[in-house]
Structure 1
């Protein structure tokens, strides 16, 4: 009986070399290091970051991909108003270089979109490469009249309706609407970013 359980575990492990779970407080340092590695130190100056600063991600929509006990992928979704229409902003999505061939990014996207739909959200917007995100149903079809705070490339502003017609008539500036981070968490997050990293 014990041998059978071990075999079953090994088979599951071989079939799925990573797991996706809700982000934990213990993931923060690894997530920040992963985002720095993927997007560089200037990631805090990007347009979409202005929608996330000082805000908490949408409840249940901050996910980590874990492989052999390490965070190898992350994605978060945030409450925004898309010109007055409630939506979620997805990002950043990041996967550790050595895990990219395992399908971690696609699994995070599928899981995040399914969880958003299950929670009753109607639309998701992101800033990213259209050829990559098209396979998840994203396009620029209904984002042409939307804007982001700061400079951005128009053809990279993409949307996906989780309910048909959710982005009909979307027009104007995308603005954050999510809950503010509690003061202690916001100050801890800033301090974590200021801690010097080893070379």
Structure 2
């Protein structure tokens, strides 16, 4: 497996992987409304590639909660032929390390607490994703101790493209 940053030339191959791994209509989810018209955080969009192509991919997007910059993790996908090999965990750990090194303070995602809890994500009370999102699936991780302290409110689009805060 080769780890690399996603490039514009990879876009459609990654989109095909997401289409394969997720239900039709994935773009109707509320998290996609936060991504519309917003550039992903390119330094954190990573791929794992083997001789067959993209085996796994992860993307991050900038959002804001009460004015605070936040990374929105997702989507992340692993090709069905590579599931249960630890590739998703590898991408999560690597991208979170890079986010921390780039100066990001906090990460948000919508997902299953039992899976993402092993990476340190916890339920975020007081942080609201656009409907329809189950509040129990809104999870966060502080990359800097206390980064989520006092940060609550509705998750909103962030159109800026600067690295972090």
> Normalised by the size of structure 1, how large is the TM-score?
0.77
Q: Which residue, out of 56, 61, 74, partners 2:57?
A: 74
Query: What's the CA shift for 1:29?
Result: 1.5
Query: What's the CA shift for 1:178?
Result: 3.6
Q: Which has a greater percent of helix? A: 1
Q: Which residue, out of 172, 180, 183, partners 2:153?
A: 172
Q: How many residues align?
A: 161
Query: What's the CA shift for 1:26?
Result: 2.1
Determine the structure 2 residue equivalent to 1:160.
141
Determine the structure 2 residue equivalent to 1:119.
102
Please tell me whether the aligned partners of residues 87 and 121 of structure 1 are also in contact (alpha carbons under 8 angstroms).
Answer: yes
Query: What's the CA shift for 1:69?
Result: 4.7
Larger Rg belongs to? 1
Determine the structure 2 residue equivalent to 1:131.
114
For 1:55 and 1:79, the matched residues in 2 are separated by 8
Note the alpha carbon deviations across 1:125-181, whole angstroms, 9 max, x for none.
Answer: 0000100001100011xx21111122101111000000011111121111121447x
Question: Which 4+ runs in 1 deviate beyond 4 A?
Answer: none
Unmatched segments (≥5 aa) in structure 2: none
For 1:59 and 1:34, the matched residues in 2 are separated by 18
Q: CA RMSD in A?
A: 1.3
Query: What's the CA shift for 1:33?
Result: 0.9
For 1:69 and 1:115, the matched residues in 2 are separated by 26
For 2:36 and 2:137, the matched residues in 1 are separated by 21
Q: Which has a greater percent of strand? A: 2
Please tell me whether the aligned partners of residues 57 and 77 of structure 2 are also in contact (alpha carbons under 8 angstroms).
Answer: yes
